[in-house]
């Protein structure tokens, strides 16, 4: 459930009237004047003919038209296997005798429940109970935790973490640049990666990880995690270009018989949206709290004090004024990020955080904030699309659940 910011349909982008080429330029010039950061696989993506965009200051592939484009990439992950370069994600190592205490203080989930080799979803919060970022916490060893964080929030997260762990005996080191992170996702991910490693992947449970040899690289982190609502793995290999390219090519070769395709941020966004996985800057932000985002099952209010707890106790007692729901368009139209939501009397009640056609479901879906009285399943609301109010209904989430293994 590694999250990242896809600005493909950011608010300004989807509601502002511009020509399409102005739009494309907008996508690639948000950091104008700054040099975009590149992953070690940048040349590989370009060689594959990927469309590149500026994503949180990173020059990243959005889709690979030569191998079929976004929808094909999405469907490959649902039915076979796809591979993603997610090296732009950040990594923070927290190590030291009080590493656990530090993690418990800065992260809302209960890291004392983690065993070595286990990971969980969590979030870093401000004292207000709103989000600094969401994270995956990995327990690497007794006094050794790895936090995987978003690309666009790397610097912010790192300085926030350093500040907040300073009272504990531990180090917080940004090790994001040391790794090329490749996600191999889909029902055939295990069969693909198994060809390249001596680790018995069938023994790694969901949200667990092991170290082993991958592509002849010893001691490689292999985690059964992802951001696609599908089975899959994320591997962390040295970030030098030759090694990164070699691993990418070997994964490509291993997945060939299963129809593996490289996947960009576009498919990553539609896959995570179908699985109702939060995206920073959309479903979660510094103005949205844990209960509103309906992520309270990852927030352990009963554990000892942590940043944001006091504020969240008040929120819990008072109740929320808005809550995240899943919507499906009933009428013809595609809800997009930032579109307004209305009730049947024409009163504005909320807004869409992420909206898109859902390639696996062949429906137009959205996540939106609405008042709790409008959140029950089946409830009708209206999304305003270019001046027209499109009937939509609240549906159960996640929109997509992967089939159980038979």
Partner 1 sequence: MAYPKDYKYTKEHEWIQIKGNTALVGITDHAQESLGDIVFVELPKVGAQVEAGKSFGTVESVKAVSELYAPASGKVVEVNDSLNQSPEAVNQDAHKAWMIKLELSNPSQADGLMLADDYEKYVAEEK
* Strand, coil or helix: 262: strand
71 binds partner 1 (CB under 8 A): yes
148 binds partner 1 (CB under 8 A): no
Segment contacting partner 1 by CB under 8 A, of 29-37, 279-287, 333-341, 367-375:
333-341
Of 294, 311, 334, 395, which lies in the binding site for partner 1, with binding defined by CB under 8 A?
334
- Kind and range of the H or E run holding 173: strand 171-174
Closest CA to 53 of 72, 32, 25: 25
Segment contacting partner 1 by CB under 8 A, of 98-106, 300-308, 353-361, 370-378:
353-361
Of 70, 99, 193, 235, which lies in the binding site for partner 1, with binding defined by CB under 8 A?
70
Sheet holding 119-125, edge to edge: 119-125, 131-141, 144-149, 90-95, 171-174
Of 3, 130, 228, 270, which lies in the binding site for partner 1, with binding defined by CB under 8 A?
270
Closest CA to 308 of 155, 123, 92: 123
Closest CA to 259 of 49, 25, 24, 81: 81
Q: What mask of x and - would describe binding to partner 1 in positions 277 to 316, judged by CB under 8 A? A: ----------------------------------------
Closest CA to 355 of 320, 401, 321, 390: 390
Asked if residue 373 lies in contact with residue 362, where contact means CB atoms within 8 angstroms, the answer is: no
Q: Which two tokens stand for residue 379?
A: 């409830």
Of 57, 96, 357, 398, which lies in the binding site for partner 1, with binding defined by CB under 8 A?
357
Binding to partner 1 (CB under 8 A) within 371-390 occurs at 386
17 binds partner 1 (CB under 8 A): yes
Segment contacting partner 1 by CB under 8 A, of 86-94, 216-224, 317-325, 355-363:
355-363
| CB nearer to partner 1: pick between 65 and 238 | 65
Q: How far is the CB of 385 from partner 1 (least distance, A)?
A: 9
* Strand, coil or helix: 9: coil
Segment contacting partner 1 by CB under 8 A, of 20-28, 88-96, 311-319, 397-405:
20-28
Terminal Cα distance for the chain, rounded:
23
51 binds partner 1 (CB under 8 A): yes
Q: Which two tokens stand for residue 190?
A: 């295990």
Closest CA to 9 of 83, 84, 96, 70: 70
- Greatest C-alpha distance within the chain: 63
| CB nearer to partner 1: pick between 289 and 360 | 360
Instruction: State phi, psi for 326 to the nearest 5 degrees.
Output: -95, 135
Q: How far is the CB of 69 from partner 1 (least distance, A)?
A: 5
| CB nearer to partner 1: pick between 66 and 175 | 66
Q: How far is the CB of 155 from partner 1 (least distance, A)?
A: 27
What is the distance between the alpha carbons of residues 69 and 62, in angstroms, rounded to a whole number?
9
113 binds partner 1 (CB under 8 A): no
Q: Is residue 115 packed enough to be buried (19+ CB in 10 Å), middle (13-18) or exposed (0-12)? A: exposed
Of 1, 40, 50, 62, which lies in the binding site for partner 1, with binding defined by CB under 8 A?
62
What is the distance between the alpha carbons of residues 106 and 104, in angstroms, rounded to a whole number?
6
Of 54, 59, 63, 231, which lies in the binding site for partner 1, with binding defined by CB under 8 A?
63
266 binds partner 1 (CB under 8 A): yes
13 binds partner 1 (CB under 8 A): yes
* Strand, coil or helix: 338: coil
104 binds partner 1 (CB under 8 A): no
331 binds partner 1 (CB under 8 A): no
Segment contacting partner 1 by CB under 8 A, of 263-271, 275-283, 306-314, 344-352:
263-271
What is the distance between the alpha carbons of residues 246 and 239, in angstroms, rounded to a whole number?
11
Asked if residue 164 lies in contact with residue 33, where contact means CB atoms within 8 angstroms, the answer is: no
The residue ranges that bind partner 1 (CB under 8 A) are: 8-9, 13-14, 17-21, 23-24, 51, 62-63, 65, 69-71, 266, 269-270, 332-334, 336, 356-357, 359, 386
């Amino acid at each position: 459930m590694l999250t990242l910011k896809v600005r493909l349909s950011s608010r300004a982008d989807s509601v502002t009237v511009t020509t399409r080429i102005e739009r494309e330029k907008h996508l690639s010039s948000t950091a104008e004047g700054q040099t975009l950061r590149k992953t070690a696989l940048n040349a590989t993506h370009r060689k594959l003919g990927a469309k590149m965009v500026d994503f949180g200051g990173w020059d990243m592939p959005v889709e690979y038209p030569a191998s079929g484009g976004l929808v094909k990439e999405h469907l490959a992950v649902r039915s076979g296997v796809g591979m993603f370069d997610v090296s732009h994600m950040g990594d923070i190592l927290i190590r030291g005798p009080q590493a656990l205490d530090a993690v418990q203080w800065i992260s809302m989930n209960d890291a004392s429940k983690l065993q070595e080799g286990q990971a969980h979803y969590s979030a870093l919060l401000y004292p207000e109970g709103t989000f600094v970022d969401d994270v995956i916490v990995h327990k690497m060893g007794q006094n050794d935790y790895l936090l995987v964080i978003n690309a666009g929030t790397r610097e912010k997260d790192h300085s926030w973490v350093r500040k907040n762990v300073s009272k504990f005996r531990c180090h917080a080191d940004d090790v994001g640049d040391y790794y090329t992170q490749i996600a191999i996702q889909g029902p055939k991910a295990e069969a693909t990666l198994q060809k390249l490693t001596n680790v018995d992947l069938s023994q790694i449970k969901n949200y667990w990880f092991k170290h082993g040899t991958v592509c002849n690289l010893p001691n490689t982190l292999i985690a059964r995690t992802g951001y696609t609502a599908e089975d899959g793995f994320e591997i962390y290999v040295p970030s030098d270009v030759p090694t990164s390219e070699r691993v990418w090519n070997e994964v490509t070769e291993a997945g060939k018989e299963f129809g593996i395709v490289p996947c960009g941020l576009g498919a990553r966004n539609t896959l995570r949206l179908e699985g109702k996985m939060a995206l920073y800057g959309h479903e979660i932000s510094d103005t949205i709290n844990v209960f509103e985002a309906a992520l309270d099952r990852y927030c352990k209010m009963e554990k000892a004090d942590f940043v944001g707890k006091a504020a969240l106790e008040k929120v819990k007692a008072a109740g929320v004024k808005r809550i995240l729901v899943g919507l499906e368009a009933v009428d013809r139209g595609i809800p997009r990020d930032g579109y307004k939501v209305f009730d049947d009397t024409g009163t504005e009640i909320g807004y869409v955080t992420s909206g898109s056609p859902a390639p696996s479901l062949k429906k137009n879906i959205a996540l939106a904030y609405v008042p709790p009285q409008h959140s029950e399943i089946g409830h009708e609301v209206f999304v305003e699309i270019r001046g027209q109010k499109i009937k939509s209904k609240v549906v159960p989430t996640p929109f997509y659940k992967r089939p159980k293994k038979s």
